[in-house]
Amino acid sequence: MAKNKRAFTVALVQLDVGPDRDDNLRRAKKLCAQAARRGADVICLPELFHFMGIFHHPCAAAETADGPSIAAMREIAKRHRVHVVAGSILERRGRGLPLNTCFFIAPDGRIAARYSKMHLFDLKIPGRIRFLESHTMRPGSHATVMSTGFGTFGFAICNDLRYPELFRRMVKAGAEVIFVPSAFTRFTGRDHWLALARVRAIENQCYIVAVNQSGKNMEGVHFFGSSLVVDPWGKVLKEGPLTGDKVLSCKIDPSLVSELRSQLPALKKIRKKYPLVRRP
């Protein structure tokens, strides 16, 4: 766990992402610069901040880590001396379908860590919504944590919120703040977005910083917006609008994590095994 951790300001850059990569990057850079001028230490963008179109040919929308989207975020980090959680992009790596990868960029522009989404979102409700990520990307294979001067960060992406095992793994490795870049749909978001973010924060006694897309994709799927920060007690410190580009700033104090975990030592009481007795 990082020593000498200190409070910091996080900026959530909520975006209405479209199919025009150049326009998406132009607006993302503008909002990131605005966030930096407001005093952000860490800036987080949403999932697939570079492109939200039709994914019939996902490899065509994919980039390498050296592509224009991550290059733009590395330049932002360097120019403004901030950390950037570069949402995610479709990352071309090896053969086959791309990965959905979040890049954590240090103030010197270096890629300090990366995480590829492990739990892909498939939803098929006839006549209402169809969203099949497993047809357009492949899942990642491991969790990621990163020690910083602000404490230990963890990373998840969107549908990962439904999987408490991933969050518990990161917390057991020291995570105190977990970033969740997302493109959570309106259909599921109305009932699940806030509930899942709060319960992940409460059960792990950590901060959740969940930055969501707004708007809709070219197939008419609407996204829920409502980017938010939840503290380790489950209190919502900041929440964005349902629609539109927006920069939200919030102060995070990692010492609250240590204080709460000391006062309510729930994580220390997790058992290694939970034997099951099955009754007829």
Question: Catalytic residue positions?
Answer: 47, 117, 158
226 backbone φψ class: left, alpha, beta (φ>0; ψ -120 to 50) = left
> Using CA atoms, how far apart are residues 102 and 96, in angstroms rounded to an integer?
19
Alpha carbon separation from 163 to 89, 199, 202 (Å, rounded): 21, 11, 14
> Using CA atoms, how far apart are residues 155 and 8, in angstroms rounded to an integer?
17
> Using CA atoms, how far apart are residues 18 and 245, in angstroms rounded to an integer?
12
User: In degrees, to the nearest 5, what angle opens at C-alpha 60 toward C-alphas 83 and 65?
Assistant: 25
